[in-house]
Amino acid sequence: MTSITEMYISSKKFPIFLLFLYGISVVCCEEIHTTKVFFMPIGPCFFNWNSSKDTFSPNQVQYTTSLVDSPDLPSWMYYSYSGENNTGFLYGVPPVHQKDFQVEVIGLNKKKFEARRKVVNMKVIEKEDKAKYEVQMKIDKLNVQDLFKYLRYNYLLNIFKHVLWKESADDLYVTFIASAVALGARLPLNPDEGEGVVIHLGSQAEFSIELKNLEKEIQPLRIKKYDTCPGFKAMSVERFFRHYNFSLDWCAFKMININSVNNSSEEVWIDSFIDSSLETNPWNPPQRDLIPTRDYTAELTITMITPCLAMIVLIILLSFILYFQHEGISKRNQNTPDVLMVQYESIQRVSKTLRSMSSQRDNDKFLKSSPRLSDERSSRIRPNPPPYSSIRQNVHGDF
Please write the tens of the pLDDT for every residue from 37-71. 999 999 888 888 765 554 677 778 889 999 998 88
Between CA 356 and CA 301 the distance in angstroms is: 73
Residue ranges per domain, the chain? 29-126, 133-262
Between CA 213 and CA 207 the distance in angstroms is: 10
Between CA 149 and CA 87 the distance in angstroms is: 10
Identify each DSSP E strand in 77-149 by its residue range: 77-82, 87-92, 101-109, 114-125, 133-140
Between CA 139 and CA 293 the distance in angstroms is: 39
Task: Give 127: exposed, middle or buried? Use CB within 10 Å, 0-12, 13-18, 19+.
Answer: middle
Cα 379 to Cα 130, 162, 361, 365: the distances in Å are 156, 145, 21, 18
Please write the tens of the pLDDT for every residue from 87-115. 899 999 999 888 999 999 999 888 888 88
Q: Which fold has domain 29-126?
A: Immunoglobulin-like (2.60.40)
Report which of 29, 150, 51 is spatially closest to residue 107, judged by C-alpha positions: 51
Tell me the whole-structure pTM to 2 decimals. Answer: 0.59
With helix as H, strand as E and coil as C, how does 256-294 read? EECCCCCCCHHHHHHHHHCCCCCCCCCCCCCCCCCCCCC
Reading the chain (399 residues) residue by residue, the pLDDT tens digits are: 444 444 443 444 433 333 333 333 334 688 899 999 999 999 888 888 765 554 677 778 889 999 998 889 999 999 998 877 778 999 999 998 889 999 999 998 888 888 889 999 999 999 888 899 999 999 999 999 889 888 888 999 999 999 999 999 999 999 999 999 988 888 988 888 899 999 999 999 999 999 999 998 888 877 766 666 766 667 889 999 999 999 998 888 999 998 644 444 444 444 444 443 334 455 677 777 788 888 888 889 999 999 999 999 999 999 988 888 877 776 666 665 555 555 556 677 767 777 777 666 655 555 555 555 555 555 555 666 666 655 555 544 544
